[in-house]
Amino acid sequence: MKLNEDYPVIYKKINRFLKVRKIVIIIYLIGLIASVIVNLSVGGRMWSIYVLGGELITYYAFFDKPLIDNVLIKRIVLLFLIIFGYLYAIDKINSTHWSGFVIDILFFSLLIIELLFFFVHYNYHKNKIIIMLMTSIFSIAFCVFKAIRSINWAIIVTGSLGLFIILMLFTFYYKTTILEIKKYFSIK
């Protein structure tokens, strides 16, 4: 006896963004492999790391969509951290010693961007306090670490702004800050 199936065939929807992202990853990998091969065959400085850094920055800026906490400010912070690493790698490859000063200034601008996001629409952004708090703590730790070797005005300004943000959060937004810390570190 032959069974007659009356169920419709289910077609899987293919997201265009995911297709484009896969194509971009393949192009990035081919470009990275080609640049490493050319760099090793020609010799000299490891300029293929510049290619890797540029690919990482563009991927995380335009093609990365995390499933958890996909908010604009977190993506901006992650992009800034990747740029910091990229600048530091370029500086170490070229031995020019300029990245520390530039990273301090960029860290200061990141803290300003976070403050602007926070104060423009407080009610919408109050659940993003934890991102601002962690970035401020990281900026203070970064400035203390850098101040051990040498100190300049950019370190002082960045560390002071990070300390100001932490004091502001715990002075004016104490309940919200504590609630967000509890929610973020909850293990339920």
pLDDT in tens, the chain (188 residues): 666 666 777 676 777 888 888 999 999 999 999 999 999 999 888 888 888 888 989 998 888 887 777 778 888 888 898 898 888 888 888 888 888 888 889 999 999 998 888 888 766 666 778 888 999 999 999 899 988 888 888 899 999 999 999 999 899 889 988 988 888 887 66
CB 18 within 8 A of CB 26: no
